[in-house]
Amino acid sequence: MEIKREQWGSRLGFILAAAGSAVGLGNIWKFPYLVGENGGAAFIVLYLICIVLVGLPVVIAEILIGRTAQKNPVGSFRELSKGNPFWIAVGGLGVITGFLILSYYNVIAGWSLGYVIESIKGSFRQFNDPESAGQLFNSLSSQPYWTLTFHAAFMILTVAIIYAGVTKGIERASKFMMPMLLFLIIVLVIRGITLNGAGEGVRYLLKADFSAISGKTFMIALGQAFFSLSLGMGALLTYGSYMSKNENIPNSALSIVFLDTLIAILAGFMIFPAVFAMGLKPAQGPSLIFNVLPVMFNAIPGGYIFRIVFFLLLSMAALTSTISLLEVITTFVVDEFNFSRKKVSVILGGIVFLIGVPSAMSFCGWQKFTIFGLTCFGLVDFISANIFLPLGGIFIALFVGWFWGTRKALPYLLEGTKNFPGVITAT
Ligand code: PFF
């Protein structure tokens, strides 16, 4: 017996849930450190080009596949390709990528949750320089007990929301968390750019030096565009499968892409002016925000409270992303094997936690264990974000544009749109 598929309660609910998936550690934690490591403004320009030329069309294509087939990634490709094994495997690649990303993403999400507790304990209060914050970061992240506890705690939170379902869990959580996050980031941007000596940081973000750009930088920018938009692994496809046929896909896609890009750029303006004001080097790698922000709050009235709220919101931003990752793999198992959603979410959460343990240990004891010069964490990140996601994106584009064909796909895209500029309806 087929159970009726859940649908989003409202258009806004879908947009906020999808934007919630897109906006996460990728925007606030990863984007700033990639900008810092890859030449500042020039990297941002390259990133924006990737977002507009590649990201937006693939977002539309991915939502379209999901909404038309109303299934998980594997089921959707199977249905629309009429059982072609190659395209089914593309859906399968998405599910595997979901496993991999969630396994290491959840470790960083766990750090931000751990920082909520540290902030409540007042651990950063006496810090005047990022070096001391950096020392605390190193000492915390190098303790297996600390890292694994929060890795587990975060997975439990993620499972709890998926357990509750689409409208009761995902939609409700996103509607509440997204607006709060935007507000707090704006407060921090204002504080950052008004710090003494912040001007250099603002210039760093605005003055593009294209000599820093190479083929590798381009790959990193493209990988980040996919990662940040949650693209290429069926997350938006899965969310699209809960979307009604009366909704306008291109408009929703534009809102999602706009919100995601806005928050990444704002995160840059939140961090870099402060980095320069404190005399730091921009290329700090993954610990950047954990070193800079705790100290920055000491320069704000009410900093103690703001710091707690910030790390809480960072955790929430991560949570709206981890739930989308777990949702992809959960829907896959629920749709394909007809198991109960509740049981599946708990079991998969446990498996992903275990797969994530080597990534977590990359910071606490297993630093020296490397493959191709990368730690377990670095390797899983590289393979999934820089190879699997763009690959998935290329296949999604080929599927809609070539295999399914724009002529056949277009009527489905037009469902829910009153007028879509530049379209000549095929007859
Ligand atoms: N887009 C999320 C971020 O920027 O933090 C990460 C992510 C979520 C990637 C979901 C992929 C995905 F399917």
Beta bridge partners of 374: 371
3-state class of 370 per DSSP? Answer: strand
pTM of the model: 0.91
- In the chain, the largest separation of any two C-alpha atoms, in whole Å, equals 70
Q: Give Cα 286 to chain centroid, integer Å.
A: 15
Query: Does ligand 1 have an atom closer than 6 angstroms to the CB of 223?
Result: no
Mean predicted lDDT score pLDDT of the chain: 89
Q: How confident is the model at residue 426 (pLDDT cuts 50, 70, 90)?
A: very low
Beta bridge partners of 371: 374
Q: Is the pLDDT of residue 247 over 70?
A: yes
Query: Does ligand 1 have an atom closer than 6 angstroms to the CB of 59?
Result: no
Q: How confident is the model at residue 347 (pLDDT cuts 50, 70, 90)?
A: very high
- Beta-strand ranges (E) seen in 1-61 are none
Q: Is the pLDDT of residue 208 over 90?
A: no
416 close to 245: Cβ distance less than 8 angstroms: yes
Domains of the chain: 11-424 (1.10.4160.10)
Q: Is the pLDDT of residue 52 over 80?
A: yes
**Cα(402) to centroid(ligand 1), Å:** 26
Please count the CA atoms within 13 angstroms of the CA of 275 that sit on its side-chain side.
27
- Cβ-proximal residues to 133 (8 Å cutoff; 6+ apart), any chain: 124, 127, 290, 291, 292, 294, 295
Q: Is the pLDDT of residue 427 over 60?
A: no
Query: Does ligand 1 have an atom closer than 6 angstroms to the CB of 227?
Result: yes
What angle (nearest 5°) sits at the alpha carbon of residue 109, between those of residues 264 and 242?
A: 75
Q: How confident is the model at residue 419 (pLDDT cuts 50, 70, 90)?
A: low
How much is the pLDDT for 389?
95
CA pair distance 390, 54, nearest whole angstrom:
10
Q: Give Cα 294 to chain centroid, integer Å.
A: 22
Query: Does ligand 1 have an atom closer than 6 angstroms to the CB of 150?
Result: no
- Please state the atom number of ligand 1 nearest to the C-alpha of residue 25: 5
3-state class of 375 per DSSP? Answer: strand
**Cα(301) to centroid(ligand 1), Å:** 33
**Cα(229) to centroid(ligand 1), Å:** 6
The residue ranking higher by pLDDT, 288 or 391, is 391
The proportion of the chain whose per-residue pLDDT surpasses 90, expressed as a percent, equals 56
Instruction: Calculate Rg over the CA atoms of the chain.
Output: 21
Q: Is the pLDDT of residue 169 over 80?
A: no
CA pair distance 61, 55, nearest whole angstrom:
10
| Bridge pairing between strands 374-375 and 370-371 | antiparallel
Q: Tens digits of per-residue pLDDT, 107-153?
A: 999 999 999 999 999 988 878 777 888 889 989 989 999 999 999 99
Tokens for 153? Answer: 């705690």
